[in-house]
Structure 1
């Protein structure tokens, strides 16, 4: 078999396996990233190199490259291009040939369904989630809590709707703890993909003698036929249990798109509560971060005070497509690497997040002067390329707070090459 034929065979295999594969050489340059890995991490062919380069310093691959120690069963929570939560489990291993490190490879498996398709009591922060614990400073969130308290008082079925990560699960558990008389258990049933498992779990919960608050999360994920079966069970047992459901969009729009059964909506229609996105209630960001750090200090004895003024401002400017869940995962990532710091500074943020903030600023800013515009003459291509390179290097350097080594590594350049280019532009 020729070398070209063997290469084509390897490419076919890597692009058709059910796991994500990403390999880098000893310099941190990507040599293999298969279609599955791009899909899992929300990377398109157009922006692949940019995303890989921008996150390289912060990735597990780079950590293994530096330490030369394998990392097994690493769980990562990401948000894909559609803003949906994806949970990965990865093995990252150094590649050694003739006793020399030549690269690192990551094998990633999508375990989103395994993680989410389960019913379990919601116990975040190690204690029941009551309305007193939920951060609700904004008028919109205060309205949500007020309406949810009324639902608990009347023991009514309720439909919660809003984007992924907004805290619909927190509101559902808050309702459970507000009930009078109290129900004996709170169960979350995540309605994703495996419909038979969903139905079996539902029947198991309903058949129990314990009074239960059942939260059916993202009920639009199951088919209309399955929704009809679930509705029959709700009607038959609504006097014994409290039923709460959630959807990711306006239920009327879901009905129009054929994703939500009209009769199921009518069952919950007496009370429908919209849980707003974090971008609609940015007043809640700083209090949520403060509450998170307060719990962190209690659990670890840390002297961490909070965010620096710059980071606090960046958090307020960011759109948070993953909402409250994205913010919480980001804080988990930051605090995992803390030692005795008292303030979270910009350079302590994960590189992938700094890159997203940089892109946000570029999108909001006026179009750079070097870009072609109908109002002025087109300039020679060589001049354009020089200006584009200068602009890109300048912004990359700012993102890394002027650190030449980190900037060069992210750009895939040697330190000397970057210094030469910067010196050329300054002359």
Structure 2
């Protein structure tokens, strides 16, 4: 290969990696050969996650919906096709795709897709409260545990103070519900509550937000997951919020703010703007006292709003609910109850046989995976495990205990183990595979 060809290949690779449009190319069998940074952002995948899989194995659509597979089958381009689907992070995505066949000497060898993320354009920048239910107040948030009672108490103080509020917690813990309860706790409850979805916002959306805040009467604005904005957009958002002080602002982030600032994910000045009241909502696994009451309360809501039949939970089901670690928190619990309720409309008690097989398998896997220190002591009469299996089990046990000691804080755990955050995150991710 000549020097000019090397330079051209390097330039092409740079352009693909830094383009502000998703690029995904597959071979004739549907397996990925090119997958750029922007497509990773849109679909929530890494190249190493998809190299050995067909796109049908990765996304929740069939052959008739995949533009790449349509092009592979027809040999004809598919232009300006709008596609809506759920990515691997369980976020609904809308893209506008241009997909082309790739030929070599008149033989179809693959297809390439250029995807523009238009999710933000599909949503109005501000979304008011849902119309199919009444407002959420502090009294409606289940809080049996001391941890959640403390959260509610602090949130009530924040509402009385009428200052910016920051809600901190994992995905699905109920940050949106608490934000709404704080809104209704404000003295001036004539304001309208609006949610600003930060995940897919861009410069135009931030500008539209500024115009809206300048033109509208005082409102409560909930900036949902502002840590998903780029730092430059966070700077723009801070500028807008500081220019429009007549409104009440609430924001949420998905991780510890100190950790997010240290990793360059959260703008320090934006955090300070909201730091008057920073409220941490603990994950469901940290407050097991709330699991059963939350499930019962949600079933009651379904009965009142949809007329579904399930009103009680069998003791065996309660045991399974308590044994599960709920990585998706309240949202995952509610989705489980939605699925069961929609399948069993005449029964009044949720029993073990109604639970999805996948959920029961997850609970069983957790029980089987509960290692003890004694598992790693070699006894003279015990059967030796394969060395790789022993090391993997020991590493998993040690890292899990280290994470528990530091309340699942990645930065603190990594520092205590003498490794980088990236190294720890990589090891934890590999252990889940």
Report the TM-score, using the length of structure 1 for normalisation. Answer: 0.63
When structure 1 is superposed on structure 2, of 210-219 and 196-205 the one drifting more is: 196-205
- Please give the alpha-carbon distance, in whole angstroms, between the structure 1 residues aligned to 2:231 and 2:194: 22
- Please give the alpha-carbon distance, in whole angstroms, between the structure 1 residues aligned to 2:280 and 2:347: 38
Q: Secondary structure at the match of 2:29?
A: helix
- Please give the alpha-carbon distance, in whole angstroms, between the structure 1 residues aligned to 2:169 and 2:128: 21
Q: Secondary structure at the match of 2:199?
A: coil
Alignment partner of 1:282 is 2:288? yes
Alignment partner of 1:243 is 2:249? yes
Alignment partner of 1:263 is 2:307? no
Cα deviation for residue 291 of structure 1 reads 1.3
Alignment partner of 1:11 is 2:16? no
* Pick aligned residue for 1:229 from 210, 231, 236: 236
Cα deviation for residue 117 of structure 1 reads 8.1
Report the TM-score, using the length of structure 2 for normalisation. Answer: 0.62
- Please give the alpha-carbon distance, in whole angstroms, between the structure 2 residues aligned to 1:137 and 1:15: 51
Alignment partner of 1:182 is 2:174? no
Q: Give yes or no for contact 1:87–1:112 (8 Å, CA) kept in 2.
A: no
- Please give the alpha-carbon distance, in whole angstroms, between the structure 1 residues aligned to 2:293 and 2:343: 22
- Please give the alpha-carbon distance, in whole angstroms, between the structure 2 residues aligned to 1:380 and 1:178: 58
- Please give the alpha-carbon distance, in whole angstroms, between the structure 1 residues aligned to 2:313 and 2:243: 51
Cα deviation for residue 125 of structure 1 reads 6.2
- How big is the alpha-carbon RMSD for the aligned residues of Structure 1 and Structure 2? 3.9
- Please give the alpha-carbon distance, in whole angstroms, between the structure 2 residues aligned to 1:254 and 1:301: 43
Where structure 2 has 5 or more consecutive residues not aligned to the other structure, the ranges are 1-25, 44-51, 64-83, 95-114, 387-433
With over 3 angstroms needed to count, the CA separation of the structure-2 counterparts of 1:376 and 1:37, relative to structure 1, is farther
With over 3 angstroms needed to count, the CA separation of the structure-2 counterparts of 1:219 and 1:361, relative to structure 1, is same
* Pick aligned residue for 1:207 from 203, 211, 214: 214
Q: Secondary structure at the match of 1:182?
A: coil
Cα deviation for residue 111 of structure 1 reads 9.7
Larger relative contact order, structure 1 or 2 (CA cutoff 8 Å, min sep 6): 1
Alignment partner of 1:219 is 2:237? no
- Please give the alpha-carbon distance, in whole angstroms, between the structure 2 residues aligned to 1:351 and 1:111: 35
* Pick aligned residue for 1:321 from 307, 322, 327: 327
* Pick aligned residue for 2:129 from 122, 129, 136: 122
Q: Give yes or no for contact 2:261–2:267 (8 Å, CA) kept in 1.
A: yes
Q: Give yes or no for contact 1:88–1:110 (8 Å, CA) kept in 2.
A: no
Q: Secondary structure at the match of 2:320?
A: helix
Q: What CA deviation, in whole Å up to 9, does each residue of 1:121-155 have, x standing for no partner?
A: 23386111111211122111111111111111111
Q: Give yes or no for contact 1:189–1:201 (8 Å, CA) kept in 2.
A: no
